[in-house]
């Protein structure tokens, strides 16, 4: 029996509609990602010590994009931290919240416009670049304790340029919105990175109220060896980083060098950081040593062991990631063994 023309037409229309819907859906994508990073650590601060299970910036998130045509894309990223040792969120109430990142963006041939909450480009491009984030991705007690993070992460507008002859620029502004308890001034962060072959150079400047910093970074890859170093000049007028209180800390210089060498599944990292004394605070210099070993079980999973020691002068208390905090003039050290898995 012959099939009626109307029936054939309906089948063809349904197929075309389905194909069109599939094509439209293919223009958008959403991915779930994250990592769990947990360690057993023995920490010592001053004359006190403890051994426990610690979270090291575990997080999960959603990232997505939509192709708008003509080379233009809309995108978003939502990221929440959580305590891998307890399961609680890292928000102020212990609930899960997208306090690590919540941004919407537009990108195209002229660059990317970003709106929302996200970290300072200068930090990621200076202290967290390449070998400088080893051995544990600049997290937990093994993190770089001497870098002066100035920028506010909230209420941000940012522009990132396209790559131009190896050069990328990013400018960020954080609007204060007269928030109670916050610095009642806008924050600004400017960053530049240039890459050619194994060499990468970066520079950044940040200002938020009476605090500002300027930094330079170099990074070089030679076969299995990576070496990174930065220099930072800080002016801490708010007095938030020293024992001088409202009088302000003054200025200081800081520097760090880290080398990482990988052979097969094994990776060894060694870092040294130094901070001069604040100009208004006698006895406020500090040093930090970091030694770590990573054993990569796969591209997403690794076992690690790490040790750090922070030598604080009497007027500073570097070591913000130690449980219970670090007091002025207290030295701090940590020995850890951990497991990290990314998905």
pLDDT at 96: 86
What is the four-CA torsion angle of 164, 165, 166, 168, rounded to 10 degrees? Answer: -20
Q: Which segment of 16-30, 91-105, 247-261 scores lowest on mean pLDDT?
A: 16-30
Q: What is the pLDDT of residues 274-283, one digit of tens each?
A: 999 999 999 9
| pLDDT more than 70, % of the chain | 92
pLDDT interval class at 255 (50, 70, 90): very high
CA angle 246-249-253, nearest 5°?
160
pLDDT at 181: 76
**pTM of the predicted structure, to 2 decimals:** 0.89
Average pLDDT over residues 31-53: 97
Q: What domains are there in the chain, each with its CATH number? A: 37-342 (2.40.160.10)
């Amino acid at each position: 029996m012959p099939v009626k023309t109307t029936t054939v037409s309906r089948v063809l229309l349904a197929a075309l509609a389905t194909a069109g819907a599939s094509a439209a859906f293919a223009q958008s994508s959403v991915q779930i990602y994250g990592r769990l990073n947990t360690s057993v650590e023995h920490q010592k601060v001053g004359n006190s010590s403890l051994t426990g299970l610690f979270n090291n910036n575990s997080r999960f998130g959603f990232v997505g994009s939509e192709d708008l045509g003509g080379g233009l894309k809309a995108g978003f990223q939502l990221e929440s931290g959580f305590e891998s040792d307890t399961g609680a969120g890292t928000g102020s109430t212990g609930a899960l919240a997208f306090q690590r990142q919540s941004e919407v963006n537009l990108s195209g041939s002229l660059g990317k416009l970003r709106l929302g909450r996200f970290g300072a480009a200068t930090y990621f491009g200076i202290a967290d670049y390449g070998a400088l984030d080893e051995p544990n991705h600049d997290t937990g007690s093994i993190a770089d304790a001497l870098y002066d993070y100035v920028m506010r992460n909230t209420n941000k507008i940012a522009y990132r340029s396209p790559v131009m002859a190896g050069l990328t620029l990013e400018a960020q502004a954080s609007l204060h919105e007269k928030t109670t308890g916050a610095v009642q001034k806008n924050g600004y962060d400017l960053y530049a990175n240039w890459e050619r072959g194994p060499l990468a150079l970066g520079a950044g400047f940040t200002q938020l109220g009476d605090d500002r910093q300027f930094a330079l970074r170099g990074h070089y890859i030679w076969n299995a060896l990576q070496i990174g170093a930065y220099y930072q000049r800080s002016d801490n007028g708010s007095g938030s980083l020293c024992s001088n209180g409202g009088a302000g800390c003054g200025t200081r210089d800081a520097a760090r060098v880290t080398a990482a060498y990988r052979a097969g599944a094994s990776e060894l990292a060694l870092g040294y950081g130094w901070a001069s004394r604040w100009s208004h605070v006698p006895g406020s210099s500090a040093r930090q040593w970091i030694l770590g070993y990573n054993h990569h079980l796969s591209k997403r999973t690794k076992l690690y062991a790490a040790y750090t020691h922070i030598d604080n002068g009497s007027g500073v208390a570097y070591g913000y990631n130690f449980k219970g905090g670090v007091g002025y003039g207290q030295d701090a050290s940590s020995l850890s063994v951990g497991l990290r898995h990314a998905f």
